[in-house]
Amino acid sequence: MRKLFIPYIMGNKRFIENMKTLSDAGADIIEVGVPFSDPVADGPVIMEAGNKAIQEGVNIQYILDALTAHREKLSSKYVLMTYINIINYYGEDAFFDACEKAGVYGLIIPDLPHELVQQLKDRHPNRKVNLIPLIAMTTSEERINQIVANAEGFIYTVTMNATTGENGKFHPDLKQRINNIKLKANVPVVAGFGIRTPDHVEDIVEVADGAVIGSEIVKRFDRDQNQQTVNYLNSIRKALDK
């Protein structure tokens, strides 16, 4: 199976242009962050990018409208990383309808526990938008089994920086844990958090079905010339295809 390249970008005034760059570089699924005033799951780089996007006037409606308008020109699948307050404020029914119209493949809701995700699924059994689960490396075996049994789209395993060894390689315990999740899963199991370089990618996809890269890509779109960013993205795709 082709290893999945899942880059993250912030939903700002340039995000459609950035999505096209990512698609051209071989992104399989693009994660678009919805700017939010209290982003509990975001690190400093992404938090700063979110604040800038808010100052630009970007909100969930702007993102959904832009995706709807450009849907036919986007070749990669795309998911939204958002927070439950945004969905509640929009209204669940209206939000799922708008996401479907915009071609959204799935939602990642990091502040919604598994039990509440299941309740959300139960309230919307006919939705076409996947609810993507997150699994932390500290999650109990019993809870992992519950999450995996109900997984949609793909499973996002959060590696945490603490699991990288002194030589920059991911800890063997982490790899074994990802392998154990894969044995139970019926959807791809990808890894993210702290993955920045082609070497990181090569190492983690020895076990994972793909890699999520966030802060590094956000930084490069913000500071680098376009060709530098494209060269970096191509190096990640090459590492995934080895």
Return the number of other C-beta atoms located less than 10 Å from residue 224's C-beta. 13
Contact predicate 217/196, CB 8 Å: no
CA atoms of 62 and 84, how far apart (whole Å) = 18
From the candidates 17, 24, 38, 42, give the one annotated as an active-site residue.
Answer: 42
Question: Going by C-beta distance under 8 Å and a sequence separation of 6 or more, which residues neighbour residue 21?
Answer: 226, 229, 230, 233
Q: Which residues pair with 29 in a beta bridge?
A: 77
Q: Does the active-site annotation cover 42?
A: yes
From the candidates 17, 24, 31, 93, give the one annotated as an active-site residue.
Answer: 31
Contact predicate 189/209, CB 8 Å: yes
Both tokens of 122, joined, read 């139960």
Rounded to 5 degrees, what are φ and ψ at 166? -65, -25
- Helix (DSSP H) and strand (DSSP E) numbers for the chain: 11, 9
Please, what's the b/e burial string for 56-68 (b: 16 or more CB within 10 A of its CB; e: otherwise)?
A: eebbbebbbebbe
CA atoms of 42 and 214, how far apart (whole Å) = 10
Which residues belong to the active site? 31, 42
